[in-house]
Structure 1
Amino acid sequence: MPHSVHVSGIAPTTTEAHLNDFFTFCGKIEKIDFDTTAHTATIHFEKSSAAKTALMLNGGTLDANTLNVTSDTEHEDEKHTDEAVHHIEQSDKPRAGIAAEYLARGYTLSDGILQRAIEIDTKQGISKRFLSYLTTVDTTIGNKALGPDQTVSGKVVETVTAATQQVRSVDEQKGYSKTAGDYYSKALASSFGGKVREFYTTTSKQVLDIHEEAKRISAEQKGTAAGGTGTGTGTGETPITVSPPVAGAPVPSAGVKS
């Protein structure tokens, strides 16, 4: 069964690269059939869940034009086992998290689309694969930075601030964050770690929560671009560059290696 969506309302200035950048946030793209005369395109994804996320973006804005995203197929999320996960793909992430990444990179999504993302998460639940991954990030970095059986978000440390400083210190010495889901590991160890964990592990969100997460991601991206300790969003498998909205920093892989 094809995992594709049809896109119309594309601006005359939009290129195939722009479409790729925009829809890459949904998941891995296999190919794009772009009709530059009719200003329409068919985006073919590797997974059904990515196509389902793309449909959520109907009414989104690219190059100042409102996109119509439709499909003749009813796409569903993949079923995953409960094994420990050390790597996730973009399509595994909660839709609200993906929406926050779009906002952080300068794209315009209406509050209606953000609400749609929340509703999908509420209906589908946060995938066990993503929850397992987030737990792996927490324990992997916690074990290496703080000691056995400790997590960066846990209450076993005296203060969250102390944990954050320790994680950063170990990162600088041994470069653990270079092989981890940087954004998630440092976000969990930050002063707002509890809010980050709640955002990505529960479905009880509001549109404002997505905007707040977008601000956190954007702050990390700016830190990266400035040569600081920021770590990007952790989206996708390969670096991508968003065209018109923001000439942002490359986006690192979200894999964790123990």
Structure 2
Amino acid sequence: MINTDEPTPNLVKVTNISKDTKEATLRDFFAFCGKIKDFELESDGDHQKALILFESPKAAKTAELLSNALVEDSHIQVDAYFQNTPSLDEKRGATPAEAAAAATADTSGSSEEKTEGGDHQNKKTVSNIMAELLSSGYVLGDQVLAKGIEFDHKFGVKDTVQHYYDQIRQNLHQWNEQYHVSDKASEMEQKMGLQQKQKEASDMAQNWLHNSPTGQKVSGLISQFSQQISDLNNEAKRLASVRQNEAQSNSGAS
């Protein structure tokens, strides 16, 4: 049983989960954000709701940024369980902005991350994690991607974020020449039914973008980060194509 009496920035609540969604499916989705320490799923009327306790504040914040992503047939909603909970860094005297920057910084050089079983996702930008989710067949929508990119730009390590997008463009060019990623990506989308899912998600998102104050703000972010959004979608296609090629190679070898 998750302790909800002691405030922590590591705990999120997830609502509007389809009643048919299995716990394993939800765990797999949020595992992209970082290590899950505890997890509870229960019925909530016609839907389900969940409490997820992550091992790090960054993982929890990344999960919040995935609110409105499409998991199976429902656009889930993700919120911090405790609002305005100070992180450990803030308790030590850091400002909220400084604490957020520390939580999202590249920790690849720390001794903790080098230990076996360390939280590898803490080394990645939120954009990186979102690209991995897209490549695994999840539909996030431009509005979710825009929020993740904005967060990276605000609190990420600037050089790390810029290097990531530069690397995307370089990788896509190399892989497209070698494996014709664009053609294979289109085939992959059709096989997975992603094109129809993306259209449905886009229609719902457009309604939200035009008819709510928050949506209108995010609409501005989409325009601001249009190139990066395109980069993330291209990176997702490249990653999916790489996996497909690896699977075919392994199958041929056996």
TM-score (norm 1): 0.56
Alignment of 1:1-258 (within 5 A): 1-36=8-43, 38=45, 39-71=48-80, 72-74=82-84, 76=100, 77-78=102-103, 83=109, 89-126=120-157, 187=171, 190=174, 206-227=228-249
SS in 2 for 1:26: coil
Deviation at 1:83, TM superposition (A): 4.2
Higher helix share: 2
1-side partners of 2:71 and 2:56: how far apart?
23
SS in 1 for 2:18: coil
Distance of aligned partners of 1:47 and 1:205 in 2 relative to their CA distance in 1, 3 Å threshold: farther
AA in 2 matched with 1:93? K
Q: Which runs of 5+ in 2 are unaligned?
A: 1-7, 88-99, 177-224
CA RMSD of aligned residues (A): 3.6
AA in 2 matched with 1:42? L
Query: For residue 202 of structure 2, what is the aligned residue in structure 1?
Result: none
TM-score (norm 2): 0.56
Q: How many residues align?
A: 169
2-side partners of 1:80 and 1:37: how far apart?
37
% identical aligned pairs: 32
2-side partners of 1:102 and 1:67: how far apart?
15
Query: For residue 200 of structure 2, what is the aligned residue in structure 1?
Result: none
SS in 1 for 2:243: helix
Distance of aligned partners of 1:51 and 1:127 in 2 relative to their CA distance in 1, 3 Å threshold: farther
Deviation at 1:188, TM superposition (A): 9.7
The answer (yes or no) to whether the contact 2:172–2:235 under 8 Å persists in 1 is no
SS in 2 for 1:9: strand
Deviation at 1:190, TM superposition (A): 4.2
Deviation at 1:94, TM superposition (A): 0.9
Deviation at 1:100, TM superposition (A): 0.8
The answer (yes or no) to whether the contact 2:11–2:54 under 8 Å persists in 1 is yes
SS in 2 for 1:36: strand
The runs of at least 4 consecutive aligned structure 1 residues that moved more than 6 Å come to none
Distance of aligned partners of 1:93 and 1:81 in 2 relative to their CA distance in 1, 3 Å threshold: closer
Q: Deviations over 1:66-90 (max 9, x none)?
A: 1010112447452677847885711
The answer (yes or no) to whether the contact 2:62–2:126 under 8 Å persists in 1 is yes
1-side partners of 2:73 and 2:140: how far apart?
12
